[in-house]
């Protein structure tokens, strides 16, 4: 699994559904460079089980992300038409109607490959034919991308394990606090908690308060 933290996030241009209804053919992360942070999260497939709980959970917290100048973007290897149909399906019927942030279609699986979250790989068999080994969907990868387009945080869960949206918000807060104040954020830090100076004395002072 590649570590993208500290590197430029792989850019792409792909179909997506915006505001739950509008299909576009050329969605790109470039529109946010210099303007917004991006939480880009991959999920395995539409019309499944854990995935809608995550997607709706991000929608429930969307105002909190937006207040921090963060754009949430979801992506899977399904087509834009599958995304659109799922977005028209009510929650009570297993759908995600009401979700308004972009859902990107990675039908070619190239974006998932570039972020190294594809649950499988293309290989050549003994006859020289290309075949896919594994499951052609994305793991539950999440990437926090700063305004300069650099990945500052990543986490990847296996297919059955849902993520914490609150943890994604906490990491956004930690990054933005560090950018504003220069201090670093210790274990289990939350917005409003005391941070510490990146010095031996700073660590000693912080730990001394927790005796």
On whether residue 115 sits in a domain, the answer given is yes
DSSP letter, residue 188: T
What CATH number has the domain bearing residue 116?
3.40.30.10
User: Is the same domain home to 114 and 131?
Assistant: yes
User: Is the same domain home to 123 and 172?
Assistant: no
Q: Cα 89 from chain centroid?
A: 23
Residue 161 has pLDDT above 90, yes or no: yes
Q: What was the pLDDT predicted at 8?
A: 98
**Across residues 166-193, what is the average pLDDT?**
95
- Residue 211's pLDDT band, with cuts at 50, 70 and 90, is low
CA distance linking residue 2 with residue 19, whole number of Å: 31
Q: Kindly provide the residue ranges of all beta strands, DSSP E only, lying in the chain, ordered along the sequence.
A: 13-18, 22-28, 37-42, 70-76, 103-105, 118-124, 130-138, 140-145, 151-157
Catalytic residue among 9, 29, 38, 51: 51
The phi-psi region of residue 163 (left if phi > 0; otherwise alpha if psi is between -120 and 50; otherwise beta) is beta
Residue 148 has pLDDT above 90, yes or no: yes
**Across residues 120-149, what is the average pLDDT?**
90
High-pLDDT (> 90) share of the chain, %: 83
Rounded to 5 degrees, φ, ψ at 160 are: -80, -5
On whether residue 203 sits in a domain, the answer given is yes
Among residues 98, 10, 112, which one has the least CA distance to residue 52?
98
Among residues 63, 51, 118, 126, which one has the least CA distance to residue 89?
51
What is the domain extent for residue 143? 13-160
The separation between the first and the last C-alpha atoms of the chain, rounded to the nearest angstrom, is 38
CA distance linking residue 211 with residue 206, whole number of Å: 10
Q: What was the pLDDT predicted at 133?
A: 86
Catalytic-residue membership of 51: yes
Among residues 184, 29, 198, 43, which one has the least CA distance to residue 118?
43
DSSP letter, residue 12: -
User: Is the same domain home to 72 and 108?
Assistant: yes
Q: What is the pLDDT of residues 72-93, one digit of tens each?
A: 999 999 999 999 999 999 999 9
User: Is the same domain home to 186 and 207?
Assistant: yes
Top pLDDT among 103 and 130 is at: 103
Q: At what angle do helices 165-181 and 50-60 cross, to 10 degrees?
A: 40
Q: What is the pLDDT of residues 44-59, one digit of tens each?
A: 999 999 999 999 999 9
CA distance linking residue 89 with residue 36, whole number of Å: 30
Question: Considering Cα of 167, then 170, then 176, then 177, what sign does the dihedral take?
Answer: negative
Q: How many CB atoms lie within 10 A of CB 171?
A: 20
On whether residue 5 sits in a domain, the answer given is no
Indicate the number of domains in the chain. Answer: 2
Q: What was the pLDDT predicted at 198?
A: 84
Q: What was the pLDDT predicted at 1?
A: 62
User: Is the same domain home to 136 and 92?
Assistant: yes
- Residue 138's pLDDT band, with cuts at 50, 70 and 90, is very high
How confident is the prediction for the chain on average, in pLDDT? 94
Q: Which of 4-13, 38-47, 168-177, 179-188 has the lowest mean pLDDT?
A: 179-188
**Across residues 98-107, what is the average pLDDT?**
98
User: Is the same domain home to 115 and 173?
Assistant: no
On whether residue 1 sits in a domain, the answer given is no
- Could you write out the DSSP letters of every residue in 136-166? EEE-EEEEEE-TTSBEEEEEEE-TT----HH
Q: How many CB atoms lie within 10 A of CB 28?
A: 14
Residue 128 has pLDDT above 80, yes or no: yes
User: Is the same domain home to 168 and 155?
Assistant: no
Q: What was the pLDDT predicted at 125?
A: 83
């Amino acid at each position: 699994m590649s570590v993208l933290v500290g590197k430029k996030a792989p850019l792409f241009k792909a179909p997506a559904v915006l505001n739950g209804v509008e299909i576009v053919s050329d969605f790109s992360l470039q529109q946010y460079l210099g303007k917004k942070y991006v939480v880009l999260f991959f999920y395995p497939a539409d019309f499944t089980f854990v995935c809608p709980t995550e997607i709706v959970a991000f929608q429930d917290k969307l105002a909190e992300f937006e207040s921090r100048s963060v754009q949430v973007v979801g992506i899977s290897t399904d087509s834009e038409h599958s995304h659109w149909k799922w977005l028209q399906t009510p929650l009570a019927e297993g759908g995600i109607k009401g979700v308004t942030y972009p859902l990107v279609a990675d039908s070619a699986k190239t974006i998932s490959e570039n972020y190294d979250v594809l649950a499988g790989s293309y290989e050549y068999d003994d006859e020289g034919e290309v075949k896919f080994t594994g499951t052609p969907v994305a793991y539950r990868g999440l990437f926090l991308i700063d305004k300069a387009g650099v990945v500052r945080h990543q986490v990847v869960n296996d297919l059955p394990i849902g993520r914490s949206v609150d943890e994604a918000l906490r990491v956004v807060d930690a990054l933005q606090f560090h950018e504003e104040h220069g201090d670093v954020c210790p274990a289990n830090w939350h917005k409003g908690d005391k941070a510490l100076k990146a010095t031996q004395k700073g660590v000693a002072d912080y730990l001394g308060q927790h005796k």
